[in-house]
Structures are given as C-alpha cells and as structure tokens.
Amino acid sequence: MKKLVITGMGAVTPVGNTVKDYWEGLISGRSGVGMITKFDASGIPVKIAAEVKDFDPEDYMPKKLARELDPFMHYAYAAAEEALNDSGLVIEPGNTGIVMGTAMDGIRTIAETQDGYSTGAVKKVSPRFVPKMLGNIGAAQIAIAHNITGPSMTVNTACSSGADAITLAAMFIRSGASDAMIAVGADSALCPVVMAGLATAKALSTNEDPKTACRPFDKLRDGFVMGEGGAAMVIETEEHAKRRGAKIYAELAGYANNTDGHHVTSPHPDGIGAVKCMRDAMAMGNIKPEDVGYINTHGTSTHSGDIIETKSIKTVFGAHAYDMLIDSTKSMTGHMMGAGGVAEAIACVMAVREGIVPPTINYENPDPDCDLNYVPNKAQKRDISAAISNALGFGGQNASIAVRRYEE
C-alpha cells in the first residue's frame, strides 16, 4: 500500500489565522471564545461563541469573489491558499484533486437571506444566492483558482466532515485517481436560527463567562461552545512528494470511518463506533496501541459525550490509556464543526513534530468518570511518535485519523 504523507497545512481559527498562529494559540492555552459580535444575539439564550477574528477575505481573494462567497467559503479558501503555498505543490491538472468537508454548508447565507426576504428588508434575492449557499462551491472556487481538475468531492457527515475529507482524499490517492489531494474542512454556522436550535436542544454551554465556558472532561461541563473556521492539508504519495523535493510534515498512517447505527444525536453508550474507528486507523498503519502517545479527542464538553469517549479510549488502549496525553483543543477553539476534523489533525501533526501537546483549558474539577491525563491547563512536552485525532458527529458518525512521525 502506498505510503501517504502530509506536505502542506493551512488554518483559519478562533485562536489564529495561520497554522503558526493557531499552533502558538493552542500551546499557550489561549481561549478563542468571546461574546458574539457577528449578529445581534440579544434574542437568543446563548450569547458566546468562538469567532474567527481579524479576518478580511479580501486579503486572500479578489473583492468581487469575496462578495460572492459565504463566510465558510472564505475560511476554506484562505486555509487552502496557505496549505498549497506551504506545500510548494505545482498543480498537475487531472492529477491533483480536492475534497471539502462541511457540516452546515452556507447556512449563514440561507438564514440571512430568508430573514431579509421575509421581513421585506430584501426585495430581491441575489442570483448568487444558490451558489453562495451550496456546500461544494467552496471546493469549486479553490479548484477554479488553481486549475485543479482531478477528483472532487464534498462530504457532509456532521462534525466528522473534516476528518472524513482527509479519509476520502487518501482513498482517492490510493485508488490511483491522483497523486496529490487537498483536504479542506470549513464551517461558519454563527447565525441566530442555528444557535437558538442548539440552545433549545441543550447542547450549548450556558456559562456566561466566555473564557471558562468550554471545559471538556471537567465535572462542571455543561455543553459545547460553537466555533467557526477553516483548515486544509495537502496529502501526497511519498513517491510524489520525494520526486519534487517536498518537505514532509508527517505520515498519514491510517484513517477510518463508520456509524454507530444507534441514535440521531447520542453516541452509542459503549462507544462502539469510536472504538472500531481507532482500532481500524491503527491497524491500517500497523500502529500498536503502545505506540500512540497522544489523542486529540472530539471532546466537545458535553456530559455524556466526554464520558463515552473516555470509555472508548480505555477500551482500545487498556492500561496504556493512563500513560497517554489526551486533550481537547475545542476548549480553546470551540466546536469548529466541519473545520474541526482537519484543524485537530493538524494539531496532531504539530505535536508529533514539535514534541509538545496542547492543554485542555478550564479543567479544574476532576470527574471520576473521566479519569485520564487530559493535559490540564498547561501544555506538556512529550516525545510523540504517533497520534490520533477523533471526530464524532450527529447521526452516529465516527472518524479517526492516525498520523506518525515520518521516516523514510
């Protein structure tokens, strides 16, 4: 089986708008959560979110194009630009493809347009409305900008969309359809109707202090904080990367996807899907449980979700689970939805390269049902040879990505 490697990365997140700034934000334990500024939140019960900050789409694309794209597309485009520039990849038409992962597509455009049209504030719907809200147009605009004409797919698997984009990109390469792919995850669902719906479902934290609201694995956790952003990585065969003299960040050693077949919003109580995903990703890469030093969990800060994921890790790793570093970077970025699976895989790549694992911030009150080393509040140095990123979504979606230190 062809060895796959990661040669470029890009990120637009609530804690930094480049991979460098994102990583520095994570290891310093910086919270990206604040009061909502992108819409009037006075009429909804939750008023905090992890917004992308100091981002101007016109810094990354022509002004006309910026007006024609939904915010999630802005983030996807910017992250892809960084990843492609970082990789130095020369696009080979037909031999380079793209996979986009997004959970909510252009929901902000839909919500804002419908609100304006219903209230009479908007008299005419723009002819750009439909392409502005379609999920695949984010990938299409990146492909148009770079003459990418190989395989193209957009996946919508809720919160695992970004991780599944990586998986599908890898599958395209291994099928022989291309030698290089860019995997992108992006979402921006910060609008009243989505936030109100999640609040009514009691999924969101009601903590009024933005900086301490997201507290994965902490006994006092009360729900997740909505985030937004985009992330991208360039994946190639080792042969293709070496032939062009590319720098190689890490090996994409394994990946897996499945479904619980249990419930629309609740994970299986025994975490059967997450267990199988981690095992399958490790088996693909011939990774032994004791080789894994770090897991970036889905870790949303919901009561049952954090317990079930902890249980799943212990099922897979046994006693070694207590030796590993386990964190949730969502404690800082919030839940970036489709962007999270790629951004959190990037965190794993950086941990393998840099020998440091970001903290889970706001961890103050141990929960006896969550009893692993969650890297509380301060980054920890550790030599990491292999790491796993989990992404678990509504509908029982499960995805795991395994990365390993690159060795020829």
Q: What is the pLDDT of residues 204-226, one digit of tens each?
A: 999 989 999 999 999 999 999 99
Record the tokens describing residue 335, joined without a space: 């839940």
Token pair belonging to 387:
């790491």
Report, as an integer, the average pLDDT of 30-51. Answer: 94
In this predicted structure, what is the pLDDT of residue 379? 98
- Exposed (0-12), middle (13-18) or buried (19+): which is 157, by Cβ within 10 Å? buried
Residue-wise pLDDT for 128-144, tens only, equals 999 999 999 999 999 99
Candidate list 74, 240, 268, 298, residue with the active-site label: 298
214 is catalytic: no
pLDDT range class, residue 124, cuts 50, 70, 90? confident
Domain holding 59, by residue range, is: 1-408
Alpha helices in 102-149 (DSSP H): 107-119, 129-133, 137-146
Instruction: Give CA–CA dist 311/368, Å, rounded.
Output: 12
Cβ neighbours, 10 Å, residue 145? 16
What whole-number distance in Å separates Cα of residue 136 and Cα of residue 288?
A: 37
Asked if the model's pLDDT at residue 408 lies above 90, the reply is no
pLDDT digit string, tens, across residues 145-186: 999 999 999 999 999 999 999 999 999 999 999 999 999 999
Catalytic entry in 268, 335, 348, 370: 335
Is 191 annotated as catalytic? no
Q: Please state which of the ranges 173-177, 197-201, 273-277, 314-318 shows the lowest mean pLDDT.
A: 197-201
DSSP alpha helix (H) spans, 183-262 = 192-200, 210-213, 238-243
All residues at 6 or more sequence positions from 200 whose CB lies less than 8 Å from its CB, including other chains: none
Global pTM reads 0.97
Query: Do 335 and 224 meet the contact criterion of CB atoms below 8 Å apart?
Result: yes
Q: What is the pLDDT of residues 222-255, one digit of tens each?
A: 999 999 999 999 999 999 999 999 999 999 999 9
Written as six digits, the tokens of 324 are 């590993």
What is the DSSP secondary-structure string of 311-365?
HHHHHHHGGGGGTSEEE-THHHH-B-GGGHHHHHHHHHHHHHHHTEE--BTT--S
Rg (CA), the chain: 20
285: Cα separation from own chain's centroid: 21
CA–CA separation, 124 and 165 (whole Å): 35
From residue 298, how far is each of 191, 276, 390, 399 by CA, in Å? Answer: 23, 15, 5, 10
Question: Phi and psi (nearest 5°) for 195?
Answer: -65, -40
Q: In which region does residue 117 sit, left (phi positive, over 0), alpha (psi from -120 to 50) or beta (all else)?
A: alpha
Query: What is the predicted pLDDT for the residue at 147?
Result: 96
Instruction: Indicate if 298 belongs to the active site.
Output: yes
Q: Could you give the CA distance from residue 224 to residue 211 in angstroms, rounded to a whole number? A: 13
What pLDDT digit, counting tens, does each position of 271-308 carry? 999 999 999 999 999 999 999 999 999 999 999 999 99
Q: Residue 382 pLDDT more than 90? A: yes
Neighbours of 126 (CB within 10 A): 13
Q: What is the dihedral of CA 373, 379, 381, 382, to 10 degrees?
A: 40
- Residue 121: the pLDDT is 85
Containing 5, the helix (H) or strand (E) segment is: strand 4-12
**CA pseudo-torsion sign 206, 261, 399, 130:** negative
* Partners of 296 in the β-ladder: 327, 389
As to burial, measured by CB atoms within 10 angstroms (0-12 exposed, 13-18 middle, 19+ buried), residue 234 is buried
Task: For residue 269, give the nearest of 299, 307, 319 by alpha carbon.
Answer: 307
Is 115 a residue whose pLDDT tops 90? no
pLDDT at 122: 80
Q: Which amino acid is at 397?
A: Q
CATH number at residue 104: 3.40.47.10
Position 266 scores a pLDDT of 85
Q: How many domains does the chain have?
A: 1
Q: Is pLDDT above 90 for 324? A: yes
Q: With bands split at pLDDT 50, 70 and 90, how would you rate the model's confidence at 18?
A: very high
Distance, in Å, from the CA atom of 332 to the CA atom of 31, rounded to the nearest integer, reads 4
Catalytic residue (one of 159, 214, 348, 370): 159
Task: Find out whether 325 and 294 touch, Cβ atoms under 8 Å.
Answer: yes
For residues 23-35, average pLDDT: 97
